[in-house]
Every structure is written in structure tokens, then in C-alpha cells.
Amino acid sequence: MEFEDIRYEIDGPAAVVTIDRPERYNAFRGRTVDELIKAFRLAWADKQVQAVILTGAGEKAFCTGGDVKQRAETGDYGPTESGMFEIGNLHKLIRDIPKPVIAAVNGVAVGGGHVLHVLCDVTIASETARFGQAGPRVGSFDAGFGSAYLARVVGEKKAREIWFFCRQYDAAEAERMGLVNAVVPPGELLKTAKAWADDTAALSPTALRFLKQSFNADTDHQAGLSNLAMSALDLFTASPEGLEGAQAFAEKRKPDFVSHVNWH
């Protein structure tokens, strides 16, 4: 299968999925999401694959979320096979695939990229990785898994801090708050992720499948919140306030959100 925005490789028991848009800091457009969905489905169907590693190309970024430049240029995230931007289906697929998903965070994981790593079962971070949210800075948000599930991972207070202040956190602090499982030197990142994937190959796939579904069962109701949030986000990004965020980002200026707010 031909991919343009990602790379898909099988390495022993691991499927390595790499977002390959380093010129855009591995931000995803509609095509990227389509290709990620195809890759995870391939990994699901492949009996050789015991775990999936999700990472980003280059050393600067794991993923910086939706391509805000694309949104500023066209008002959306570009063409897709279905005509829909299927990020919600990607989120669901990362949770539903009955195999452990390991995020190997090689650089900046912010915005929608931060949500992707949070949804992975475990996260291994390079010492150079940085984590945070940027949505409210660019006229976007994730009021579904990206906030509700994040609160389960790091606690309510920390999750609200992450979203309300859009700060960035280094790998050491991310490990302290329980946002990542391990921190390793940059040159050891993929090697470590593959070693963790190798460990899963010695375990019962059926047991892991039931365990993952059991862990997910406690938060599956958040899928409803996610659907509601995605519908709200579609409306918000087309509003004057949402458009101002994308335009200001593209023009490298401070956004003027307040003049567009309707408090009633």
C-alpha cells in the first residue's frame, strides 16, 4: 500500500507507524489521518503484529496536531477519501485495536499530537520530548478524549492546568505526573520501544486483548463526549473566533479572540 504522509514498517512483532511530515512538524491533515487509519487496520489484521509503535519523523516533533496552516489556507484539513475529517475514528481505532499501542515520542507532542500519545496504551519519551496543549491558542479544543481521558491519566487539576494555560512540560516532568511511562536518551527511543514490543510477543495475545478492553471499558462512555465535542469543534472552527485563531497562527501574530466572543 502506498503512503504519502506516513511510513508503515514491520519490524519483528511490531508495526512501526511514523508520521512523516517533518516540514510541518508532523502536523496531520485529512490525508494523514486517512493513512493512519489504514495503517492501524493493517496492523490489526496482521497476525505477525503483536504491538504497534507510533512515532514521528525527525528529531523535532512527534506530532503537533491538526495542520493549522492548511486550515488557514483552505478552511479545512484538506481532501479525504470519505469527504470527512476522520480524526475521531482514528482516536477510536487506537483504543479499539486489540494490541498494545506504544507512543515513541521523539520531540514535541502538542495539540492533537498530544491527544494521540495520551490515547496510546503506553508512552516512551525521548529526553528531548516536550508535551502540552495548544488548542485554545489557535482556536481549537478537544473536549472529548483529549480532556476527559487526560484527566484520568494525570488527574483533574493537572489536566485543567494543561488545557487552561497551554504550557509545555519536559519529559522528566511528564514522567513525574504519570503522563509517560519511561524517559530514555534520544538515540535509545526506538530501540526501547521495539524492546517493549518484543516483550509483548512472549505474552498471550488473547489475554492482552481482554486486558485492553477491560481498561477501556471504564472510559468507553467518553466516546459519546468525544462525538459531541467533534460536532462542537466543527461549528467552532468555522466561527469568526475559530477562524481568527488559525489566521493569526498563519500570519504569526497574536490572535484577537475577545472581539469575536459572543457571551450570550
Consult the annotation and say whether 108 binds a ligand: yes
Consult the annotation and say whether 104 binds a ligand: no
Provide the 8-state DSSP code for 147: I
Consult the annotation and say whether 259 binds a ligand: no
Q: Are 114 and 170 in contact (CB under 8 A)?
A: no
List of residues 6+ apart from 76 with CB closer than 8 A: 30, 70, 85
Consult the annotation and say whether 224 binds a ligand: no
Consult the annotation and say whether 214 binds a ligand: no
List of residues 6+ apart from 74 with CB closer than 8 A: none
Element of type H or E holding 89: helix 87-96
Consult the annotation and say whether 109 binds a ligand: yes
Consult the annotation and say whether 157 binds a ligand: no
Q: Are 168 and 137 in contact (CB under 8 A)?
A: no
Report the C-alpha gap between 176 and 197 in whole angstroms.
23
Consult the annotation and say whether 49 binds a ligand: no
Q: Are 74 and 180 in contact (CB under 8 A)?
A: no
Nearest C-alpha neighbor of 225 from the set 105, 144, 127: 144
List of residues 6+ apart from 190 with CB closer than 8 A: 16, 53, 55, 104
Query: Residues within the annotated binding site for substrate?
Result: 77, 108-112, 140, 252
Residues annotated as binding site?
77, 108-112, 140, 252
